[in-house]
A = this chain, B = another copy of it.
Amino acid sequence: MKDCANDFDFCTPTRVLFGKDKINELPKVLGAFGKKVLLVYGGGSIKKNGIYTKIQELLKDFDLFELSGVEPNPRVSSVRAGAKICKEQNIDVVLAVGGGSVLDCSKIICDAAFYDGDAWDLVIDGSKITKALPLVSILTLAATGSEFDCAAVISNPDTNEKIGILNPLNFPKVSILDPSYTLTVNKKHTAAGCADIMSHIFEQYMVDGTNMVSEGLCESILRTVIKFGKIAYDNGSDYTARANLMWASSLACNGICALGSDMAAWVCHAIEHELSAFYDITHGEGLAILTPQVMRYTLSAKTQARYAAFARRVMNVNIEDDNKAALAGIEALEKFFASIGLPKTLKEVGITDELHFKEMAEHACKCFPLHLAFAPLAPSDVEEILRMCK
């Protein structure tokens, strides 16, 4: 494996307030931006767990407006609705309360508040984003890392498009990370979140050459998720486990884990997008099914040293031969996924045919440059991997 020190341009201006009851700082945090607040949230779980009532109490001296019902894959219609409120009410600051979907949607609402045309224009052409309202977030799920990055993924059902954008204007100003809000996340979503965090790391770690500091950070996050993912799965109310997962998730997708390292196409995410699109399965579950099979299919003289390093440093495999160590590492990863109830096969998530595999494989390679992956993939390779997952 090659030691790298590639060029980079890095900045994460988001302030993270981490810990129990940090929500109490909300009036001070929001007050710095103004009094008119747009509260954005999803399906209403924040009304059940008390966060909604707490916000109402804390913000009784603010003018509070609301946009609820943001979808799990946030739609541009929600962005439009939010931007409309911002413009009509002269909103000063947007408060996103939820997981990655609510945050992603809110980021583009902040941009669209200053754009006269249709919000979808901003998604397909980021250069149209010139100014954004300040965004403050309260995280309720450890998974995507949207609270500590400037990325957003928005869907447009009219055009069947789902597009990701990166824009430095879209960093939250402040993100409140209170692990106690995730104590009630159920086993299924806790496990899927773990697979998501790990997959973000794999996509940055499985490359030709790595920067030594970044590589160590990647391995540290993987070990953290393996240790505390299991604890949180077994005992959802373990605060230390939830807190470790939460901070791991924020760092995993922020870019800091890849600084100075080589980059390559994100293979598992590309293929999983197709699974989710065609069969509507949970993203993290799809990743857990795909990752070991992608590693197995791509194991070669080129990749085995890297997979072996993962096996030894993360999965505690103690085998000298690289190829054997790599295989043992893949098996250990499968065992870990199984230990937190994640599926191993497509059958387990209800996918029993292979009707769409060819189309999915072609689409994945069209949308993502999988020929530029660590182990380059053609559509026929992707099809074979999908078959291995059956």
Copies of chain A in the complex: 2
A218-234 CB mask vs B (1 if < 8 Å, else 0) is 01110110011000000
- Given B7, B20, B227, which contacts A19 in the complex, CB threshold below 8 Å? B7
Chain B residues lying within 8 Å of A19, measured Cβ to Cβ, are 6-8
Asked whether, in the complex, the Cβ of A240 is within 8 Å of the Cβ of B7, the reply is no
Asked whether, in the complex, the Cβ of A221 is within 8 Å of the Cβ of B211, the reply is no
- Given B5, B9, B10, B247, which contacts A211 in the complex, CB threshold below 8 Å? B247
Residue of B nearest to A14 (CB): B11
A129 to chain B, nearest CB (A): 18
A324–B371 Cα gap in the complex (Å)?
50
A191 to chain B, nearest CB (A): 19
A1-39 CB mask vs B (1 if < 8 Å, else 0) is 001111111111111111110100000000000000000
Cβ of A156 under 8 Å from chain B? no
A153 to chain B, nearest CB (A): 24
A179–B7 Cα gap in the complex (Å)?
10
Cβ of A109 under 8 Å from chain B? no
Cβ of A385 under 8 Å from chain B? no
- Given B9, B223, B243, which contacts A17 in the complex, CB threshold below 8 Å? B9
- Given B22, B212, B217, B260, which contacts A227 in the complex, CB threshold below 8 Å? B212
Asked whether, in the complex, the Cβ of B212 is within 8 Å of the Cβ of A223, the reply is yes
For chain A residues 187-228, which have a beta carbon within 8 Å of chain B?
211-213, 215-217, 219-221, 223-224, 227-228
Cβ of A244 under 8 Å from chain B? yes
A363 to chain B, nearest CB (A): 35
Residue of B nearest to A3 (CB): B240
A240–B260 Cα gap in the complex (Å)?
10
Residue of B nearest to A20 (CB): B7
A5 to chain B, nearest CB (A): 3
- Given B8, B18, B227, which contacts A10 in the complex, CB threshold below 8 Å? B18
Chain B residues lying within 8 Å of A260, measured Cβ to Cβ, are 18, 243-244, 247
A14 to chain B, nearest CB (A): 7
A195–B3 Cα gap in the complex (Å)?
22
Asked whether, in the complex, the Cβ of A221 is within 8 Å of the Cβ of B228, the reply is no
Residue of B nearest to A216 (CB): B220
Asked whether, in the complex, the Cβ of A220 is within 8 Å of the Cβ of B224, the reply is no
Chain B residues lying within 8 Å of A251, measured Cβ to Cβ, are 213
A220–B205 Cα gap in the complex (Å)?
14
Cβ of A120 under 8 Å from chain B? no
Asked whether, in the complex, the Cβ of B5 is within 8 Å of the Cβ of A15, the reply is no
- Given B11, B215, B239, which contacts A220 in the complex, CB threshold below 8 Å? B215
Cβ of A248 under 8 Å from chain B? yes
With A18-B260, A217-B217 as given contacts, are A244 and B7 in contact (CB-CB < 8 Å)?
no
Binding site for B on A (CB under 8 A): 3-20, 22, 179, 211-213, 215-217, 219-221, 223-224, 227-228, 239-240, 243-244, 247-248, 251, 259-260
Nearest 9 pairs of A and B residues by beta carbon: A216-B220, A7-B19, A5-B243, A11-B15, A13-B13, A212-B224, A10-B16, A8-B18, A5-B240
Q: What are 21 sample pairs from A and B whose C-beta atoms fall under 8 A apart? A: A3-B240, A5-B240, A8-B16, A8-B18, A8-B19, A9-B15, A9-B18, A10-B15, A10-B18, A11-B15, A211-B244, A212-B220, A212-B223, A212-B227, A213-B224, A215-B220, A216-B219, A216-B220, A216-B221, A216-B223, A243-B260
